[in-house]
């Protein structure tokens, strides 16, 4: 899935690349901006697919939606507000496709198997593009190979044709960079829910709440949120050194240390640090003021502005911290100098863990908190 690319950070990158500075990493690392989808041929395809903006216009259901059958159906119709208006879902959906990041995990955690999800190409993936915890959850649900979600490509654009072929009666793109044109095109296939306020900025609690309402499982959604929040606080409590510390998620490239990027308070990654008990440094709050962007570029000449960051989390390679400590400017950051830096290897499962979802939290929190605890002990 692609996230709003930070084009200023990585000019001319592609989400399909596995390099840390490429948009696949940028979706995590700085996010990839999907190009406009609305080609006339795709609009035509969507229009003739037989789908309707009414959720009751779904085609046949199959075993991939069977987990819905035992669910406690909420009251329908329901209306969901988002950045591009309000989407009304007439009846409980049975074939749900997702666009962007995390929505597929939230659906699965609520007992619904999506019919189509984005193919992941960044970090550790299994079976051609599933995240490890996603595939593990599907296996535990007993989903057969033939009923697994179809993987559609979002490397350069949203594959509208592939989504249409899955015959969804609802499309969810809460944690996405869906453009207005893409929203309008997808809405010709099925009722579509875009991100709610800021592209790639829907918090995990909000995503679960909205998803649960859209599929008629609000009670289950509330319980899921409570369970996940408890897991986060319980894990953090095992590392008392975290208490009273500040943390920030940044991005450094060992091959170009003349500038770096910080994730603003809009982004879900620093919000996850807050869930784990780390406070947002004043420097990050100041840099985040007045912008809806999830990131901000910083010249290394201003590295000293971030002296109030106790723990830095960054994507990178094993040699990154040593390179930062040798740099005459970055070494002025106290966290860098003392080594209270968590470097997330972009080839591992943890590379996809900083954007929390209902399945990534239980799968990766223990390891993430261990790494944060080790960094906190150096402060």
Residue-wise pLDDT for 66-83, tens only, equals 344 434 456 899 999 999
- Looking at 69-83, 143-157, 240-254, which range is the least confident one? 69-83
Q: In the structure encoding, which two tokens stand for residue 247, read together?
A: 């943390």
Confidence of residue 156 (pLDDT cuts 50, 70, 90): confident
Percent of the chain with pLDDT over 70: 80
DSSP 36: P
Note whether 39-216 and 237-376 share their fold.
yes
Q: Where are the domains of the chain?
A: 1-33, 39-216, 237-376
pLDDT at 56 over 60: no
Between CA 78 and CA 91 the distance in angstroms is: 8
Q: How far is CA 290 from CA 4, 266, 296, in A?
A: 19, 11, 11
CATH 3.40.50.1980 fits 39-216, yes or no: yes
**Residues 293-325: pLDDT tens digits?**
899 999 999 999 999 999 999 999 889 999 999
The CATH class that applies to domain 237-376 reads: alpha beta
274 contacts: CB under 8 Å, gap ≥ 6: 280
Distances (CA, A) of 246 to 194, 291, 372: 32, 21, 11
């Amino acid at each position: 899935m692609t996230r709003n690319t930070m084009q200023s950070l990585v000019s001319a990158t592609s989400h399909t690349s596995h390099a840390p500075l490429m948009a696949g990493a940028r979706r995590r690392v700085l996010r990839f901006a999907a190009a406009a989808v609305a080609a006339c041929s795709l609009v035509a395809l969507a229009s003739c697919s037989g789908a309707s903006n009414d959720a009751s216009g779904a085609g046949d259901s199959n075993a991939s939606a069977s987990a819905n059958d035992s669910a406690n159906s909420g009251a329908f119709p329901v209306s969901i507000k988002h950045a591009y208006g309000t989407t009304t879902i007439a009846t409980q959906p049975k074939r749900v496709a997702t666009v962007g990041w995390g929505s597929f995990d939230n659906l699965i955690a609520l007992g619904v198997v999506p019919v189509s999800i984005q193919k992941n190409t960044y970090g550790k993936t299994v079976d051609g593009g599933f995240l490890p915890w996603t595939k593990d959850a599907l296996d535990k649900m007993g989903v057969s190979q033939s009923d697994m979600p179809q993987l559609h490509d979002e490397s350069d654009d949203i594959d509208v044709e592939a989504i249409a072929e899955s015959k969804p009666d609802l499309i969810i793109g809460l944690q996405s960079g869906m453009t207005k044109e893409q929203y309008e095109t997808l809405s010709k296939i099925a009722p579509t829910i875009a991100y709610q306020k800021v592209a790639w900025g829907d918090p995990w609690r909000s995503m679960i709440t909205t998803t649960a309402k859209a599929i008629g499982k609000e009670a289950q959604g509330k319980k899921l949120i409570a369970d996940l929040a408890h897991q986060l606080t319980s894990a953090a409590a095992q590392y008392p050194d975290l208490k009273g510390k500040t943390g920030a998620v940044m991005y450094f490239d060992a091959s170009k240390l003349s500038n770096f990027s910080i994730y603003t308070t809009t982004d879900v990654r620093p919000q996850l640090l807050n869930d784990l008990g780390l406070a947002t440094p004043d420097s990050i709050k100041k840099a985040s003021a007045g912008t809806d962007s999830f990131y901000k570029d910083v010249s290394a000449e201003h590295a000293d502005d971030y002296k109030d960051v106790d723990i830095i989390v960054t994507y990178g390679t094993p040699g990154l911290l040593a390179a930062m400590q040798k740099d005459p400017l970055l070494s002025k950051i106290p966290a860098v100098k003392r080594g209270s830096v968590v470097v997330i290897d972009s080839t591992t499962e943890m590379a996809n863990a900083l954007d929390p979802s209902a399945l990534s939290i239980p799968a990766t929190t223990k390891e993430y908190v261990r790494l944060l605890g080790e960094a906190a002990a150096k402060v």
